A and B are shown apart, each in its own frame.
Chain A
Amino acid sequence: MKNFKSINTIKLLAILFVSSIMFVSCSSDDDDHDDHDHEEELITTVTYKLTNGTDIVTIEFKDIDGDGSALPTYSISGPLTANTTYTGAIELLNETEDPAEDITEEVEEEGDEHEFFITSSISDIVITKTDVDEDGNPIGIESSLVTGDASTGTLTIILKHEPTKPNDGTSAGAGGSTDVEVTFDIEVQ
């Protein structure tokens, strides 16, 4: 190696430079210019369907662009009937996928890591979770809602990820991180 010449070094550099350019060009094989990821985890739609025979009230939150600039819509199909017991079912959808992905199934599968908290500002509305996870703790996908006298107020649905289970029944006491928090104006008549 005594006859080491700087010209060799320059050649070596040139080869390295060229080969790296080739490397770059080759590596663009796994470039993914077209297959952009869409939001697979996004919850675009939260539906709370309350059923008592033919009296069906659907409460729905929809935000198709997720965190984007378009404002979400809140809709409620009609007022709740006073002094009635409804069977409630929550459905979470990702409607950016075609067909829409049912996220409720994921929540159900990981029931021990999730819990819904449904509360109302109307004090005589009583909501009870009727389903349980593998440990016998409530999940809240299914519930019963009992209305009292006519009134107006709000209804809030919160989904916690990794809450303390069992807990004191409040979202604050359960901790965890919040995956869903939507509030609707409701009317009982």
Chain B
Amino acid sequence: MGLVLTISGLSFGQNCSYIFLGELKDFHDGTAIESATIYVKQQDTYLVSDLDGKFKIENLCSDTLTLTISHIGCETKTLSYLINNDMSKTIYLEHHLEELSEVVLNSSLKTEDTSIEKSIHKSVIENFSDKSLGDALNTISGVSSLNTGNTIVKPMIHGLHSSRLLIINNNVRQFDQDWGDEHAPNIDINSSNRIEVIKGANTLRYGSDAIGGLILIKPKKYMITDSLFGNSIVSLNSNGRGGLINTEIVKTYKSGFYSKLQASYKQFGDFKAPDYYLTNSGLSNLNASLNFGFNSFEKGFDAYYSVVHNDLAILTSSHIGNVNDLVTAINSKVPRIAEDFSYDIDYPKQDILHHLAKIEAYNRFKGLGKLTLQYDLQINRRKEFDLRRGDLADTPVIDLRLFTNTFQPNLRIDYFNNLKIDTGIVLRYQQNDAISGTGVRALIPDYEKYDGGIYAIGNYKTSHLAEISAGVRYDYTNINTDGRNDSADWQESYNNISANVSYLQPLKHETSLLFSYGLASRVPNPSELFSDGLHHGAARIEIGALELNKEIAHKFIVSLERHNEQFGFSVSPYYNYINDYIQLIPVGITTTVRGAFPIWEYNQVNAQIFGVDIDVNKKISKRFDYKGSISLLKGDNKTDDIALIHMPSTNFFNSISYKNEDLNQLTIRLNHKTVLQQKRYPDYNFYTYNATLQEDVYVDISSTPSSYALFSLNSSIEFKAFNKGKLQLEFNIENLFNTSYRDYLNRLRYYADELGRNFNLKIKINY
């Protein structure tokens, strides 16, 4: 797209001492464009814009000045000016926004301008390098987590988790048997550069079932230059007496080729609550990722492979045999087994191996747009070990292998000035294999799933910088199974329609108003369909329902935001109405050889979840910053007029940080977090007969733990270690006052307290 601009004026005769000052800015966000090449026709010279996007041409005569400006990711632009005086011009370049965000590191860009999202950057991710994805996301308002102990952490957006969230890892939708409450995503956060949480049900490109929202895990894109660099982190912790080593090395070439290798190893022994060790709570984790590709404006490719191996111990005390064991655990203030510290990972435990491979290629067609083809495959092998008798002691009780592969071409039409259209299809085949030899009936049977989807999303910018985006998507899903040992073959097809409309209106004083509506539909997951059996740890029998319908959600979000370092905020109220919300509820009692068990069945109700997330940041003085947030949420089962189970309670977060750039970037930050007691919960308590006591006892599984407040301290300092290198030291204390507490959203809250104080030392080297 060429553009010729002529500014006419009066000529005052020949004078060759004029100066032209130019400033290059990005059309979309006004950021300076550095390293652009400027060809001055009259002088036949080349210039390069500086860091601030500025350039200067001297000794100009009164004549027409013609500039040809080229920059990676921009169409070459030719401009003419009539020079009759010194002149200063700001020149906007039409950047392909997406390319800019990919090639140039710019942290302020969002995935979609119109989406309501929050993100965490590399520096925050590094703070959580030896924790999990869910822990890192927990710092975002409106995001909480459903935990099983302290190592299995499932992210939750606005009270929804598991199959209701889409996790997009490196542009690949993660499939790692996320249907289970105790199945955390198998993702090494150290391989990512940036994690975004999209709270609305938009971004249809990734799927139609983002009822709760989306989590995008993004790798870093590199400058096109000859370079070799890397970084390493060593992290040591007092609690769990373990830590992490992570290293990554990146090689980039001027030609556009790049490659990256990353590996991390994590090992922890038994963690400690303030008053006792959490016997069998350690973990061992080995990850590696390899990435190479070629990047240019017109075409490129990217190949990515990652492997994650998690070996997660599960608190021994949480292994119970029947309801009376559960009652004993609930009534006892300390775990049944609290031994001395050990690095052993004994049974029960989870052993999960996840492979993810992707290849993506794109080509840009003049006058049309960009075509991207992506193929990815994932293999997830999940083994869960329990305490078993005899020869079966070392045999897993659950052994499932999930294979998923997807082909997805996407065409982005960006030919029009103000309109961008994304359209594409998704073809996916998934196969679950219940590996034989476990000696128990498989929790989830062998099944095959076929998905086909087609979508179109348009984004239109009005002349007043307002933006509107709208999309529609259709999905067809077919699931078939050869049935259980004793039941017939089964198959079902689902047709899903999803849509979204979002609108962004910039207002005065750097504020903007966003509105988003999303319609999402979700097909029941394997656990909701097929579950049939005793769930250890929960002491209940869970029964799926093959006749479940899809869930349909309508989510509305409004957000008023101001992005400013001095004083910024965002206020985002939301309302989510879910038709046929699938939930698990107690329906009766059955007797087994282990005694009486409650039966929980999946059923469908109409539900609503609404609330508000508020974030504030304020610069108090040159060196002091304040950040705060609060999340309020209410979840209702409209059908039965009671509260929904496992909804996050009101929580708020405050932090004050001090930063001194003159003193080796010294940073000290004090954080506070309060989680109030959840007073709204469904009462599923019941009585059971205790044969030893010869009486009925009350089983209080519903009551929620009390409110708690936690404080933590972070500090860091940087040193110039060698030529190009940088050494950063971090010292952190979590749970500063060694507070004993339990959390409603931890499935092991009946058995033990959460973690006590932890001292952490991190050494980061960039080279």
Task: List chain A positions with a Cβ less than 8 A from chain B.
Answer: 1-2, 4-6, 9-10, 12-13, 16-17, 20, 24, 27-28, 30-33, 35-41, 43-44, 46, 61, 63, 66-67, 69, 71-72, 103, 106-107, 109-110, 117, 119, 121, 154, 156, 158, 160-162, 170-172, 175-183
Contacts and interface: CB of A to CB of B under 8 A. Distances in A.
B440 A40 contact: yes
B694 interface: yes
Contacts of B405: 20, 24
A46 B593 contact: yes
B363 A181 contact: no
B324 to A, nearest CB: 7
User: Which of B431, B485, B591 lies at the interface centre, i.e. has the most chain A CB atoms within 10 A of its CB?
Assistant: B591
Given A40-B439, A172-B692, A181 B387 contact: no
Contact of B436 (A10, A27, A36, A161): A36
Contacts of A38: 441, 485
Contacts of B387: 161-162, 177
Nearest to A72: B591
Interface residues of B, number: 60
Interface of B: 255, 257, 294, 299, 301, 319-322, 324-325, 328, 336-337, 359, 361-363, 373, 375, 377, 387-392, 403, 405, 407, 429, 431, 433-442, 446, 482, 484-485, 533-534, 541, 590-595, 597, 689, 691-692, 694
A2 to B, nearest CB: 7
Given A110-B389, A162-B387, A181-B321, 12 more contacts: A13-B359, A16-B375, A20-B375, A36-B484, A41-B440, A43-B593, A69-B590, A109-B390, A110-B390, A154-B691, A161-B389, A175-B336
Nearest to B446: A33
A170 B595 contact: no
B523 to A, nearest CB: 21
Nearest to A46: B593
A109 B441 CA distance: 25
A160 B403 CA distance: 39
Contacts of B391: 106
Nearest to A107: B389
A119 B437 CA distance: 37
Given A6-B299, A16-B359, A17-B407, A63 B429 contact: no
Contacts of A35: 436
A161 B296 CA distance: 63
Given A37-B442, A161-B389, A32 B434 contact: yes
Contact of A63 (B255, B336, B593): B593
A171 B328 CA distance: 11
A44 B361 contact: no
A126 B179 CA distance: 50
Nearest to B316: A162
A12 B361 contact: yes
Given A67-B592, A69-B590, A177-B319, A32 B433 contact: yes
A178 B594 contact: yes
B322 A12 contact: no
A9 B301 contact: yes
A89 B388 CA distance: 23
Nearest to A6: B363
A104 B388 CA distance: 14
Contacts of B299: 4-6, 9
A179 B294 contact: no
Nearest to B436: A32
Contacts of A41: 388-389, 392, 439-440
Contacts, number: 158
A20 B431 CA distance: 13
B435 A67 contact: no
B488 to A, nearest CB: 14
Contacts of A27: 403
Contacts of B294: 1, 4
A90 to B, nearest CB: 13
A181 B361 contact: no
Nearest to A178: B321
Nearest to B395: A40
Given A13-B359, A177-B320, A182-B595, A119 B441 contact: no
Top-4 shortest CB links A-B = A178-B321, A9-B361, A40-B439, A181-B595
A61 to B, nearest CB: 7
Given A1-B257, A37-B442, A39-B439, A171 B692 contact: yes
Contacts of A110: 389-390
A163 to B, nearest CB: 10
A37 B692 CA distance: 35
Given A9-B373, A12-B359, A154-B694, A172 B328 contact: yes
Given A17-B407, A36-B442, A72-B592, A119 B692 contact: yes
Given A6-B361, A31-B433, A37 B441 contact: yes
B487 to A, nearest CB: 11
22 contacts: A12-B301, A13-B359, A20-B405, A24-B431, A37-B436, A37-B438, A37-B442, A39-B441, A44-B593, A46-B593, A106-B390, A154-B694, A160-B321, A161-B321, A172-B692, A175-B336, A177-B319, A177-B325, A178-B322, A178-B595, A179-B594, A181-B691
Contact of B320 (A154, A178, A180): A178
A119 B534 contact: no
Contacts of B436: 32, 35-37
Contacts of A67: 533-534, 541, 590, 592, 597
User: Which of A43, A156, A178 lies at the interface centre, i.e. has the most chain B CB atoms within 10 A of its CB?
Assistant: A178
Contacts of A107: 389
A31 B541 CA distance: 28
User: Which of B257, B373, B485, B534 lies at the interface centre, i.e. has the most chain A CB atoms within 10 A of its CB?
Assistant: B373
Given A44-B593, A109-B390, A36 B361 contact: no
Contacts of B325: 177-178
A172 B629 CA distance: 46
A44 B593 CA distance: 7
User: Which of B407, B429, B592, B692 lies at the interface centre, i.e. has the most chain A CB atoms within 10 A of its CB?
Assistant: B592
A172 B373 CA distance: 62
A119 B691 contact: yes
A133 to B, nearest CB: 14
Contacts of A172: 328, 692
B190 to A, nearest CB: 27
A121 B694 CA distance: 7
Contacts of A106: 389-391
Given A17-B375, A181-B594, A37 B363 contact: no
Given A35-B436, A37-B441, A161-B321, A13 B691 contact: no
